[in-house]
Amino acid sequence: MREIAEFRVDEDFAPRLLSENEGKRLGDSIRRVELATNDPRFERIGELQRETRAKTDRSFFYGWHIRRRYTKEELVSAKCLQLAVTAVFEPAGEECGTEYDEATACSNCGAGAAQVSDLYLDLRKAPKNRDIARTIADEIIVSQRLAEKMIDAGVTGFQFRPVRHKARYEDEPVDLHQVPTGREILRRAEEAGFPHPTGKFYVWLNRAENRVLFEQARAENATLKGEEDRRKGKPMPIWYQLVVTATDAEIVPPTRVGIDPFDDDPKGECRCPLGDLIGLNLLSEVSIRAASRGDTDIVASRQFIGTRRGVLRPRRAILISPRMWRLIESEKLRGIQIEVAHLA
C-alpha cells in the first residue's frame, strides 16, 4: 500500500518547504502538493503547521486529503474493505424536505438522528454519469443500474428506499390499485417475487422492461385525475437511497481518528464522551473488531465520524465483503474510494 497525502499550502509559506516549481499553483495564494507519507518532508509539514499557527493567525496548510493505493494482490486478498463515497453533492436532504427526528440523536453530539421520511433531494444536482454518490449530509444514493446489479447478485446488509425529487410534490403519485395497468403491475411483481411495497419492488418496477407498464399506469392515472395536460418534462434520473441495515461494526485501535494527519485531537474536542462520535476525520485505514463484523456483504460502523453542524451529519464507515468488492470492481464504478480494512 502506498499512502499519498495532498495538502493545500499557503503560498506565502510554501518556500519554507517546497522548491519554486514544486506542486501546482491554484490561483495566487494556494499551492497543491502531494507527498508520500513516508517521505521525510511529510512530518516536516506537521512541524511547519504548528510553527506557523504559533507565530501567526494563519496556517501552513489548509485542506488536506489522503489517498491509499493498493496492488491488485492486496485488494484481492483482503477479507474486508472500506467503501468511501467520494462523489459528493449539495444540497442535503434536509434542505429539500427530508425529515429527521432530532429527538433520537445523541443529546451530546447530535449524531445518529433517525430519518423519518423518504429522502427528498434536488436530483438535478446529483452527479451525472455516476452510479453512487452522497450528499454533504452523507445520504447515499445509487443508480437504477447499480441497484439492479446489487439485487441480482444477492448482496446483503442493506435496503433501498425511494428517492424523491423535491420539485415533484405536484407530480401526482400513482395509486397502482386504482388503475387497470397498476393492478396488472402489482400482480406481475407479486409473481416475480418483488411484492409491493418493498424496496425491491421499486427496483423491479423501474427496470427497463417494466417502465413501459408503469408509464401506461401513469397515463391511466393522469386520465383518471383529469390532468391530460401534464407537463412532458425530461424525466428525472432514477436513484435509490442506500440504507445499510447492519450497523454493529466496532471500530477499534489502531484506527486513527482526529483533526488532521498531525493532530489526533488529544483533548477530544471533536469526540463525544458517550462514545458514538469518535472524531472529525479518519486518519488511517479502518480496523474492525472481528466479532462485530457479522456476515452481511455490507455493514456500517457503530461509531460515527464527522460533525453535526448546520445540515452536516456525522457518517458511519461502510465496510464491504470481498464479494461486494468484486461486484464494484467489475462495474468499474466511479466516485468511490476503496481501502483495505482490518479485522482485529
Contacting positions for Zn ion (CB under 5 A): 106, 108-109, 272, 274, 276-277
Which residue's CB is nearer to Zn ion, number 274 or number 291? 274
Closest CA relative to residue 344, chosen from 248, 246, 247, 251: 251
Pairing type for strands 287-288 and 336-343 reads parallel
| Least gap, CB of 104 to Zn ion (angstroms) | 12
| Least gap, CB of 102 to Zn ion (angstroms) | 13
DSSP 237: P
Whole-angstrom distance, CA of residue 158 vs CA of residue 297: 9
| Bridge partner list, 147 | none
Which residue's CB is nearer to Zn ion, number 4 or number 312? 312
CA angle 40, 46, 52 (to 5 degrees): 130
Task: State the burial class of residue 187 (Cβ atoms within 10 Å of its Cβ: 0-12, 13-18, 19+).
Answer: exposed
* Burial state string for 8-41 with b = 16 or more CB within 10 A and e = fewer than 16: bbbbebbeebbeeeebeeeeeebbebebeeeeee
Helix runs in 173-229, H state only: 180-192, 199-205, 208-224
| Least gap, CB of 258 to Zn ion (angstroms) | 17
Which residue's CB is nearer to Zn ion, number 109 or number 324? 109
| Least gap, CB of 23 to Zn ion (angstroms) | 38
Which residue's CB is nearer to Zn ion, number 113 or number 185? 113
Provide the 3-class DSSP secondary structure of residue 116.
coil
| Least gap, CB of 281 to Zn ion (angstroms) | 17
The torsion of the CA quartet 275, 300, 285, 42, rounded to 10 degrees, works out to -70
| Least gap, CB of 105 to Zn ion (angstroms) | 8
DSSP states of 298-318 = EEEEEEEES--BTTB--EEEE
Which residue's CB is nearer to Zn ion, number 276 or number 339? 276
| Least gap, CB of 306 to Zn ion (angstroms) | 12
Which residue's CB is nearer to Zn ion, number 107 or number 129? 107
Which residue's CB is nearer to Zn ion, number 114 or number 274? 274
Q: Do 224 and 178 contact (CB within 8 A), yes or no?
A: yes
* Burial state string for 43-72 with b = 16 or more CB within 10 A and e = fewer than 16: eebeebbeebeeeeeeebbeebebebeeee
* Burial state string for 146-184 with b = 16 or more CB within 10 A and e = fewer than 16: bbbbbbeeebbbbebbbbbbbeeeeeeebebeebebbee
Which residue's CB is nearer to Zn ion, number 182 or number 279? 279
| Least gap, CB of 342 to Zn ion (angstroms) | 25
| Least gap, CB of 277 to Zn ion (angstroms) | 5
Which residue's CB is nearer to Zn ion, number 77 or number 108? 108
